Amino acid sequence: MLADQDRADRLLALTGLTPEVLRENLTDRAVLGAVLDYLASHEPDMVLAADALNVAPERLAQARTELSGGALPE
């Protein structure tokens, strides 16, 4: 997703994140939540990210639910 400039620009614009914040804080719950919220709201990117991670798109949605509930996604 981030390899495509248009998709990367959209992610950054809609989440308010910067490339530096993503690189330095990707394990931070707030940053993870912002990225997962973005993916949940834009199915084409959710599918693309799931494919790149070799997981079902539903797993990314589940990870967001787990993160919201206090459990870290696996």
Q: Domain map of the chain by residue range?
A: 5-68
- Which residue is associated with the tokens 């490339």? 19
CB atoms within 10 A of CB 34: 19
CA distance 71 to 50: 20
pLDDT, residue 73, reads 46
Q: What is the pTM of this model?
A: 0.79
What tens digit of pLDDT does each residue of 55-66 get? Answer: 999 999 999 888
What tens digit of pLDDT does each residue of 12-24 get? Answer: 999 999 999 998 9
